Amino acid sequence: MPVRVLHMSDIHFGGEDTPALAAATAFARAEPFDLLVLTGDLTQFGRHDEFAAVKAWLADLPGPMLATPGNHDTPWMGLAERVAAPFRRYARSVGPPDDSGFEGDELIARAINSARGWQIRLNWSKGHVSRWQANKAVRRFGTAAPNALRVLACHHPLVEAVGGPMTGRVRGGHFAAKQLVAAGVDVVLTGHLHAPFVQALPCGDGMTYAVGAGTLSLRERGARPGFNVIETTAGELSVTAMAWDGRGLDVERTWLMPLRRSVVKGS
DSSP state of 145: -
Q: Is 73 a residue that touches Fe ion (CB under 5 A)?
A: no
Query: Virtual CA dihedral for 99, 161, 226, 111, nearest 10 degrees?
Result: -10
Q: Which helix (H) or strand (E) is 180 found in, with range?
A: helix 173-182
Question: Which part of the chain contacts Fe ion (CB under 5 A), choosing from 4-12, 22-30, 97-105, 129-137?
Answer: 4-12
Q: Is 10 a residue that touches Fe ion (CB under 5 A)?
A: yes
Question: Which part of the chain contacts Fe ion (CB under 5 A), choosing from 10-18, 96-104, 126-134, 135-143?
Answer: 10-18
Closest distance of CB 265 from Fe ion, Å: 38
Q: Is 224:188 a contact under the CB 8 Å cutoff? A: no
* Residue choice 16, 17, 34, 41 for contact with Fe ion (CB under 5 A): 41
Alpha-carbon distance of 51 to 70, in angstroms, equals 13
- Closer to Fe ion by Cβ: residue 74 or 179: 74
Tell me which residue of 142, 195, 132, 130 sits closest to 167, measured CA to CA: 195
Closest distance of CB 263 from Fe ion, Å: 34
- Closer to Fe ion by Cβ: residue 10 or 252: 10
- Closer to Fe ion by Cβ: residue 10 or 34: 10
Closest distance of CB 70 from Fe ion, Å: 6
Q: Is 114:98 a contact under the CB 8 Å cutoff? A: no
- Closer to Fe ion by Cβ: residue 57 or 175: 57
Please name every residue paired with 149 in a beta bridge, in sequence order, or none if there are none: 107
- Closer to Fe ion by Cβ: residue 218 or 256: 218
Closest distance of CB 10 from Fe ion, Å: 4
Q: Is 17 a residue that touches Fe ion (CB under 5 A)?
A: no
Closest distance of CB 33 from Fe ion, Å: 23
List all residues 6 or more positions away from 9 whose beta carbon is below 8 Å from its beta carbon.
Answer: 38, 39, 40, 41, 70, 155, 190, 191, 192, 212, 213, 214, 215, 216, 227
Residues at the site binding Fe ion, with contacts judged by CB under 5 A: 10, 41
